[in-house]
Amino acid sequence: MLANSEIEVSVSARNVRRLLSFQRYLRSSRFFRGITLPNSSNFLDDDYNGQAKCMLEKVGNWNFDIFLFDRLTNGNSLVTLTFHLFNLHGLIEHFQLDTMKLRRFLVMVQEDYHSQNPYHNAVHAADVTQAMHCYLKEPKLSQSLTPWDILVSLIAAAAHDLDHPGVNQPFLIKTNHYLATLYKNTSVLENHHWRSAVGLLRESGLFAHMSLETRQLMESQIGALILATDISRQNEYLSLFRTHLDKEDLCLEQENHRHLVLQMALKCADICNPCRTWELSKQWSEKVTEEFFHQGDVEKKYGLGVSPLCDRETETIANIQIGFITYLVEPLFAEWARFSNTKLSQTMLGHLGLNKASWKGVHREQSSSGDDTDPAFEEMDSDIVPQEH
């Protein structure tokens, strides 16, 4: 346990970081609002902001390059993209949101992601939020969703991995981390992400003008969405979704059915990396593997026993991705395509097939064993997966 003085220093440092980040964001965002100020040497270049604006005009395109967008926004991809989507969906006006409070909330969310994490950082959150926007635009959903549905979906997407420590649940359990104890070893990370998001919502006062009952409902529904991203419960959600599809009894006029579909949409958004173009997908694969291997290095250093998929001496990116795609991504997106058989779904499945073939090609070059999948997946502990620690 940290001493009180250490906790105070940590909290103080976090608050200073938030303030500096907010000031940095406001400086760069003045260009988006058409405001120019003297002595702008610290601001983003006009040309960069112009390019970022152009990208936002195509925020609903599946080939949206979140890495480029993050560079063009000076590391503010999550804040800038999510604020734009709130505006695009008419949420600011509909819910009478204070734009300064909204910006502050989004900056706090962005800052509470760990930038040192190769994968679970604010850029991943921005990528998931952009994917969620694409799914919300799909005909079946867009015709049925309420502004409330869109609001909770975007907040859940932006905050779904908030304050992620860069290690997985088994690591927290075997190191007796306080979060594992707090959440009784069950959906430890997802519960933490949700509770962290609730804390920031309350701190920001973004919805202070709403009734307590309304705010509590919002927090609960955001939680249900974030908890659905626990990959160890994928079969539970997938089976329920598949049953509804088999019976053809999904009725999106019913709130509980819409909410199930939104849970599935966020699950898809969270692990959609293999469904992106090879250029984008490959970058994500490298980043998540780097995070895995870093955990494995720590486990070796302290004699904890290396977790599956985390040993850089025995694992490869190709093997991990082939197993991930085969056992987790393909089953999920096959059912999503049954629900929403659109051009986007076919595009995602097309990229998925091509990327899997590409990783098999890499695997063949690296090894002549002919083993196309990682044994760790075939005997996969429900808590160990490559895209969501």
Question: Active-site positions?
Answer: 120
Q: What is the dihedral of CA 64, 70, 71, 75, to 10 degrees?
A: 180
Q: Is 270 annotated as a binding residue?
A: yes
Q: Is 74 annotated as a binding residue?
A: no
Could you tell me the two tokens for 168? 């997985």
Q: In whole angstroms, what is the distance from residue 215 CA to residue 153 CA? A: 15
Q: Is 94 annotated as a binding residue?
A: no
Q: In whole angstroms, what is the distance from residue 142 CA to residue 167 CA? A: 36
Q: Is 120 annotated as a binding residue?
A: yes
Q: Is 321 annotated as a binding residue?
A: yes
Annotated binding site for Zn(2+): 124, 160-161, 270
Annotated binding site: 120-124, 160-161, 270, 321
Annotated binding site for AMP: 120-124, 161, 270, 321
